[in-house]
Amino acid sequence: MTEQKGKVFIITGGASGIGKETALKLAVQGATLVIADYNDTAAEQLVSELEASNVTAGAYKVDVSKGDEVKALIDWTVQKYGTLSGIFNNAGIGLVKPFLEMDPASYHRVIDVDQHSVYYGMYYAAKKMVELGVAGTIVNTASIYGTMAAVGSFNYNAAKAAVVMMTKSGALELAEHNIRVVAVAPGFINTPILGNDDSIKNHLGSLHMRGRIIQPEQVASVVAFLFSDAASAINGQTIPVDDGYLSFKTKQG
């Protein structure tokens, strides 16, 4: 497959989980990839794997909570590869605490990584796409918790709800530049953010309509589709990848 040949994509949080699986799917389609992650060792390892399969890829260490670092990432990408076709604003963290124990530092840490980083990625990528005259695509990672509450996730809920609205607002304002902005809202995904406790993963998976955990490659397939020309009429939307969770769940089990 060569659908994405000649296109250059940045994936934040690209060294593991959904980001890594998205990189693998876009690689098969011929894309050039920038694996942006705070874990530079894991990013370099993935790049080595991709290059062994004749994929053009580069690793870049970034703290997405810092706007100047995100801008530098985008500038570096264009300097190295000549263009920017899309960015997947995927990096994120979780920090579960009851609301009355959620001190300002805990609140701001998640907001900075899960919300502000998406703004930085959208803003600096869009500015560069407009400068280059590229009809690009921006994909953001929201969450089922962007539209419903969960105990212990006040900061995460707030951040992901903001991502949903930033996706809508960004799509509206960037449409005149032929830049699409879309998002995915994953359910409970088998990624490092859930930890290594299988009993917890099994419980969370049981909350889905078909009672099983979702694998990161299932979300990556949707992200890769959203970057494709086949999704060219999808804009401003947040696509649930939740095995029906939002369709029937009235409270967290």
Give kind and range of the element (H or E) at residue 71: helix 67-81
Element (H, E) at 144: none
Give all strands (DSSP E) within 38-93, no chain letters: 57-61, 86-89
Query: Catalytic one among 81, 120, 156, 245?
Result: 156
Mapped onto helix, strand or coil, the DSSP state of residue 187 is coil
> Cα dist. 68→94, 123, 125, 176 in Å?
23, 12, 13, 26
Residue 154 CB partners (closer than 8 Å, separation 6+): 99, 102, 107
- Report whether 250 contacts 24 (CB < 8 A): no
Report d(CA 80, CA 57) in Å as an integer. 10
Q: Is 123 a catalytic residue?
A: no
Signed CA dihedral, 144, 148, 151, 156: sign only: positive
Neighbours of 67 (CB within 10 A): 15
Location of structure tokens 């086949």: 230
Contact between residue 188 and residue 208 where contact means Cβ atoms under 8 Å apart: yes
Backbone torsions φ then ψ of 180, nearest 5 degrees: -90, 145
Hey, which residues are catalytic here?
156
